[in-house]
Structure 1
Amino acid sequence: MSNLQTVRKLILAGATLNQTPFDWKHNVANIRHALEKAKSSKVDLLCFAELTLTGYSCEDVFLSEWLAETAWNKLLEVVAYCDNITVAIGLPVRIDGKTYNGACLIHNKKILGITLKQNLPKDGIHYEPRWFEAWKSGEVITIERAGNKIQVGDLVYDVNGVRIAFEICEDAWVLTNRPGERLCKQGVDIILNPSASHFAMSKSNIREELIRSSSEKFNCTYLYVNQLGNEAGRIIYDGDVILAQRGEIKALNRRLTFQHNDVLYCDVNIDDTNATIPAIEIDSKEKNEELAQAVSLALYDYLRKSKAKGFVLSLSGGADSSIIATFVAEMVRRGIHELGAENFCKSLGLPLENNAKKVVGQILTCVYQGTKNSSTHTLQAAEELAKSIGATFHHWSIEEEVNSYSSKIEEALGRSLSWEKDDIALQNIQARSRSPIIWMLANIKQALLLTTSNRSEGNVGYATMDGDTSGSLAPIASLSKPFVLQWLQWAEQELEYKGLSFVNDLKPTAELRPLERHQTDEADLMPYGVLEQIELLAIKQRKSPKEVYSTLNNGNEDEVLKSNIKKFFRLWSINQWKRERLAPSFHLDDLNVDPRSWCRFPILSGGFDEELNTL
């Protein structure tokens, strides 16, 4: 920052990286690559995201001594490359047997200090107090590392006359005792916010407003940098880089890139906002487009990081399996567009193929597994979709397997099975009979088996354990059925997946009862729109059955609504064990029923008996 001594101008940059928990070789190489980009562009101050060195999602490994020690050694490697630049980089810091979430500021190959996070998120998907200690506001201590004394804690840095400080992720979201309030009083010019903030549809708009208003409130330049990609399996990071200055957004990047790293630069005049040169890239915030981007990137990262050879999917012709097939096709289309066919295929260990449909055929195998209860309509929908996107498609009957299992049980019980007495068992055996053979295919192909559970089904257990829930990844388990249905309509029109027309003409049905019984999902459960309304109030807003009813009944007695509320709460309570066993899922919305990433609930409980009696 040699020019700062006379004119308070600088090139300020944020670097978002697609890291992997304690993949040291990849993580450090990624940091170095971004550093080289920044230095070649004469960047003065470069900020990386939260816990960039280790990755954010190391979970209980953060409790170990060795992780923080290794991270420190890797930090020293990075410091050696920080000549003629100021760099902020995140890492865990171990002090007296406790781990802290830190942001280290390096200037011209010298560590100036490490700011430690003061506010730790503990709601929803967040679990930081399990791994980290919160640092006390205003406290600064000196630690020694390899004979060097380093200040850590609540710090303000002066670099050539520019005062710099940090809010680390959650520090900016708290309503009381926010660090920025105190930093403003200390005359800080630049606040850096390295973050690991999970993706949820429409969340980026909220972040932008937070950063804009913060820059105005604290009369400063405020730079926010988020993590990027599917770092560790469930959580997706959109790679937001947002720069605001005294109430004006000055720089925005295009999020959810397939690149390993993305660096956004902005020429900033510290004292004259009008002289700052904006750097705003086009980035869609439309909800359906956001989802397409996020799931495409999440599937791509999951596939390459797991080193699997592709995906296998039981394609029923229904909405849930169809949206997953479409997501895989969209992953290929977007990946080739952004990375080029050669780089995309190489990253997944595929032979070079320039045609997107042929690449889909290499990595996605779909199977329609019919019984006598399956219709020609769903077979046609599955086959036409698979053909339209280029997926490898197989069709076979599992009637023989269903009959074999059923006859053995009939012999053991000494009676025939009937739909009047054995409805659930006869439905479930069809779903379960599909599982072993599709798993066998996935094993042979060394591929990931994708399961098709959605959030609405997860709420009420409308899925067969070890049947349609079988799989190693559940891409849509955090999406509601109504959202799935409208996204498919959108994708047919806006993304031009014309093969979805057959799927979009069908009513959702499990097709497990005889065709003459005209089974539909909503007849088995309740209208999906009603289920979603109850879910929002009961699960996201944590309201009691009586409160849910009072909110939805519009002041009139409604026995059907009461019945649906009772059904929801009872099915929710008795099916927690199913949610515990769902395959890992992507967090895509503000609400998620995965107990390992959002909503924890006891497997055994009173089942809301007294609360339901108040209805």
Structure 2
Amino acid sequence: MGRLMTVATCSLNQWALDFEGNLARIKDSIHQAKALGATLRVGPELEICGYGCLDHFLESDLYLHCWEMMHNLLTDESCYGILLDIGMPVMHRNNRYNCRIIALDGKILLIRPKLWLANDGNYREMRHFIPWKRSTYYEEYYLPGMIAELHGKGIQKVPIGDAVISTPDTCVGAETCEELFTPNAPHIAMGLNGVEIITNSSGSHHSLRKLDTRISLILEATRKNGGIYLYSNQQGCDGDRLYYDGCAMVIVNGEIVAQGSQFSLNDVEVVTAIVDIEDVRSYRSSISRGHQALEAPVYRRIETPFKLSSDDDIFNPDIIPSRSQPLHIHKPEEEIALGPACWMWDYLRRSGIAGYLIPLSGGIDSCSTATIVFSMCRIVMEALKEGNEQVKQDVQRIAGAYEPEGWLPKTPQELCNRILHTVYLGMASQSSKETRSRAERLANDIGAFHIDTNIDSCFQAQRSLVEDALDFKMNFKVHGGTVAENLALQNIQARIRMVSAYEFAQILPSKRGRRDGGGLLVLGSGNVDECLRGYLTKYDCSSADINPIGGISKVDLKRFIGWAQHEFELPILKEFLDATPTAELEPITTNYVQSDEADMGMTYEELSVFGRLRKEAKLGPYGMFQRLLHDWRDLGYSPSEVAVKVKHFHHHYAINRHKMTTMTPSYHAENYSPDDNRFDLRPFLYPPFFKSWSFKQIDKMVEQLEKRKK
């Protein structure tokens, strides 16, 4: 009997509801897998319709269209000769299930529903599906008529449930995404029951520093129990805030033998490995699993005569099992350069828009946004050099509309000039020469099309409108005005900049002679910490079309800019790092320059700590105070100082929470993101925290600690 077999897993850039496009990419992956000699192919979760369909999963149309695509796939003989593991939703007895369709040569062998659903953070699977929740249980599923016809006369049903596929040479089982993360994961029982190959089909999104956690679980899946594990994942933006970061891989007995890219512009990436099934059997014979195997649940085996191995392969010296290789994980700085950039390219090419516009302030946030767009252009240029035909077509359609037919850029700066537009919207009395110069020189270095202008006349007109109507003169704080006057005058500027940005975005492509007109998408540049604190003006430049850095902390943005300064050969970035963060919304005087951290009453490092304790550690004000009493002891903070900082944060978080209801859709990168729309489901109308029971308890504990110290 043959021992060697070639298995294939893949990352696909699927798009929610793009049924025909998704099917084409699925077929492409199958054809590539077959060309590489694979006899088993596994694809991402819900790959036929796309993972991010959200409430479209409640529509019957979606299930019909999925079966129509499956019919097309099953009747395509170019996809025969390989065992297929395909993801799609299935309606069974009026219940919706997230399923794997195991098929071979035009016929379905098994429908395997997901046992445990993802229902936290960004995921709402329980809203759309129900879990199977019946380990090793199966029943009969009545096939739709068009599918039943393909199975032959009299065959109208196939098994649905938690079963496995038995071939003459091995046994294959499937688990889906979230099941890997559960304590009693299905692969444990399957491995004990003799399943040697386990597939995992995922829709797992990118977050900074998340991949190593995911991979540690994948490695552990076979390290204890032995086996071959095929991990497949979606890759790209399928229509939402999330970027699915691929990294398809094959693991044998806890060792990586093949790993795909985490960030890529390839719509289809197939990863194959040659595995020796005898390695699994040898590994399992040397670990303590025999007695537990006898007590493991018994799975129904769906028999097929199809073999994954060839009897001749063992005698072919040119067919060599894939060897173990080291894991590749990007540094967080690289993740910021790659993840949001790939997400933005998908958004740009799928939105049909002409490019991006950034209100470039001279500060590090808008600088980071512009640098990520430049990173996107670098990635696109690399894909062009590699001969990526889809990227070539997209570049010529988006950036080539200014140029003769067939034009292609020669440098990232040349591409950036067609895609990215920046505008400095200054105030003569408040915008420093330094910020204006930094913005212009950064735009020049990355190749952006830059506009430098002032909004003084708009500001004075809007100011006069209110002052004339009320017969009331408003003044900035430095000129003797009240807090309310100072805020009103700052907010006028901030909101004028948002309106101006959209005006420039609408007209700039026409001014530059773009053949098809079109507009630009306005990019926001508010970071996750400012959103958390509410340190922004509602409906100012934080209101944009999308925000690449809205889920990234200020601390990580600084690290990214420090890294990009050298990696992208942009020495101008050091000036952004050294500059004091300022909104420049108040007049500059000889003894006063507005400072973000002074305005907020806390540092960006402290904001990151507050954010993680609030969201990830799930601590309220009192619990956060107790934790920081210990965590900040070495910093020399007294209990009363910790209390002041915690209460100050929660007070401003509460009074500014309403701003999150209007925030620009942001790339999800940090697990403490305050995104109100999908991720952080908390109220936006809070009782005043300074009167709250939590604050009273903090004060009580501070009093007790200070008495004990005395």
TM bucket, shorter chain:
over 0.9
Residue of 504, 509, 525 corresponding to 1:441:
504
Distance 1:463 1:279 in 2: 50
Preserved contact between residue 256 and residue 327 of structure 2 (Cα < 8 Å): no
Are residues 1:408 and 2:465 paired? yes
State which of 651, 669, 672 in structure 2 corresponds to 1:591.
672
Taking the aligned partners of 1:356 and 1:292, their CA distance within structure 2 comes to 14
Q: How does 1:196-207 map to 2 (within 5 A)?
A: 196-207=203-214
Query: Are 1:309 and 2:354 an aligned pair?
Result: yes
Question: How far apart are 1:292 and its partner, in Å?
Answer: 1.0
Displacement of 1:276: 3.3
Q: Which residue matches 2:607?
A: 531
Match of 1:346 in 2: 393
- Structure 1: which 4+ aligned runs deviate by more than 6 Å? none
The answer to whether residue 460 in structure 2 is matched with residue 387 in structure 1 is no
C-alpha separation in 1, matches of 2:414 and 2:257:
42
The answer to whether residue 257 in structure 2 is matched with residue 212 in structure 1 is no
Q: What is the deviation of 1:9? A: 2.1
Given that 2:532 and 2:673 are in contact with CA atoms closer than 8 Å, whether structure 1 keeps it comes out as: no
Q: Which residue of 2 aligns with 1:137?
A: 135
Equivalent residue letter for 1:415: F
1:462 paired residue among 530, 535, 544: 535
Give the drift of 1:284. 4.1
Output the CA distance in 1 between the equivalents of 2:232 and 2:33.
Answer: 15
Match of 1:601 in 2: 682
From the CA coordinates, give the structure whose radius of gyration is larger: 2
Aligned residue type for 2:99: G
Matches within 5 A, 1:17-28: 17-28=12-23
**Structure-2 residue corresponding to 1:241:** 248
After superposition, what is the alpha-carbon deviation per residue over 1:477-530, rounded to whole angstroms, capped at 9, x for unaligned?
Answer: 111112112211111123322231332221110011111221111101111111
Separation in 1 of the partners of 2:673 and 2:499? 28
Q: Does 1:540 align with 2:613?
A: no
Report the equivalent of 1:8: 3
Q: 1:49 aligns with which of 44, 47, 54?
A: 44
Q: 1:89 to 1:339 in 2, by over 3 A?
A: farther
- Give runs of aligned pairs for residues 268-347 of structure 1, distance below 5 A: 268-272=275-279, 276-278=321-323, 280=325, 283-340=328-385, 343=389, 344-347=391-394
- What code does the residue aligned with 1:533 have? V
TM-aligned CA deviation for residue 238 of structure 1: 0.9
CA contact (8 A) 1:253 1:282 kept: no
1:410-429 deviation per Cα after TM superposition (whole angstroms, max 9, x unaligned): 11222210222111111111
Give distance in 1, aligned partners of 2:564 and 2:469.
49
State the partner residue of 2:707.
Answer: none
Deviations 1:244-291 (A, max 9, x none): 122222221222111111001100111125973237588442111122
Q: Letter of the aligned partner of 2:539 in structure 1? A: D
User: SS of 1:553's equivalent?
Assistant: helix
Pick one of 603, 612, 615 that aligns with 2:695.
612
Query: Residue 541 of structure 1 aligns to a residue in which SS?
Result: coil
User: Which stretch of the first structure deviates more once superposed, 318-327 or 214-223?
Assistant: 214-223
Does 1:376 find its partner at 2:433? yes
Which residue matches 2:703? Answer: none
Q: Is the 8 A contact 2:243 2:343 kept in 1?
A: yes
Q: Paired residue for 2:186, among 173, 179, 193?
A: 179
* 1:568-588 deviation line (CA, Å, top 9, x unaligned): 111111222211111111111
The offset of 1:96, in angstroms, is 2.3
* 1:366 is aligned to 2:418: no
1:398 to 436, 455, 478: 455
Do 1:253 and 1:281's aligned partners in 2 also have CA atoms closer than 8 Å? no
Q: What is the alpha-carbon distance in structure 2 between the residues aligned to residue 284 and residue 117 of structure 1?
A: 29
The answer to whether the aligner puts 1:35 opposite 2:35 as a matched pair is no
Aligned-residue offset at 1:607: 4.3
Residue type matched to 2:488 in 1? A
Aligned position for 1:503: 576
Q: Is 1:519 aligned with 2:594?
A: yes
CA 1:17–1:607: 2 relative to 1, 3 Å: farther
Structure 2 counterpart of 1:122: 119
CA contact (8 A) 1:211 1:243 kept: no
Following TM superposition, by how much is the alpha carbon of 1:606 offset from its aligned partner in structure 2, in angstroms? 2.3
TM-score by length of 2: 0.83
Give the match for residue 545 of structure 2. Answer: 472
Number of residue pairs aligned between Structure 1 and Structure 2 = 609
Distance, in Å, in 2 between the alignment partners of 1:211 and 1:354 is 41
- AA aligned opposite 2:696: N
What secondary structure does 1:530 align onto?
Answer: helix
- How high is the sequence identity, in percent, across the aligned residues? 30
Q: Which amino acid aligns with 2:31?
A: E
Secondary structure of residue in 2 paired with 1:249: strand
| Alpha-carbon distance in structure 2 between the residues aligned to 1:128 and 1:33 | 28
SS in 2 for 1:123: coil
Partner of residue 71, structure 2: 76
Q: Is the 8 A contact 1:345 1:353 kept in 2?
A: no
Structure 1: how far apart are the matches of 2:216 and 2:174? 18
User: Which residue identity is paired with 1:109?
Assistant: G
Q: Secondary structure at the match of 1:57?
A: helix
CA contact (8 A) 1:86 1:106 kept: yes
Partner Cα separation in structure 2 for residue 15 and residue 278 of structure 1: 19
Question: 1:154-190: CA deviations, max 9, x gaps?
Answer: 11111233111111001111114x2123212321011
Change (3 A) 1:279 1:24: farther
CA drift at 1:73: 1.4
- Structure 2: distance between partners of 1:529 and 1:365: 31
TM-score (norm 1): 0.96
* Aligned: 1:170 with 2:253: no
1:102: which partner in 2?
Answer: 99
Of residues 633, 638, 646, the one that matches 1:557 is: 638
| Aligned equivalents of 1:65, 1:139: Cα separation in 2 | 26
- For the aligned residue pairs, the C-alpha RMSD in angstroms reads 1.7
Give the aligned residue type for 1:99. Answer: R
Q: Is the 8 A contact 1:8 1:162 kept in 2?
A: no
Q: Work out the CA distance in 2 between the residues paired with 1:529 and 1:272.
A: 49
Q: Contact between 2:46 and 2:87, CA under 8 Å: does it hold in 1?
A: yes
Is the contact made by 2:333 and 2:559 (CA closer than 8 Å) also made in structure 1?
A: no
Judge which range, 270-279 or 63-72, deviates more.
Answer: 270-279
Is the partner of 2:374 in helix, strand or coil?
A: helix
1:241 partner letter: A
- Unaligned segments of structure 2, at least 5 residues: 149-155, 283-319, 401-407, 510-518, 699-710
1:3 alignment counterpart: none
Give secondary structure in 1 for the equivalent of 2:572: helix
The CA deviation at 1:128 is 0.5
Q: Give the Cα separation in 1 of the matches to 2:384 and 2:11.
A: 17
Q: Deviations over 1:551-573 (max 9, x none)?
A: 22345634343222112111111
> Within 2, Cα distance between the matches of 1:279 and 1:20?
33
The 1:607/1:106 distance shift into structure 2, 3 A limit, reads farther
Aligned twin of 1:151:
159
Amino acid at match of 2:349: R
Please tell me whether the aligned partners of residues 118 and 134 of structure 1 are also in contact (alpha carbons under 8 angstroms).
Answer: yes
Q: Say whether the 8 Å CA contact 1:255–1:283 is kept in structure 2.
A: no
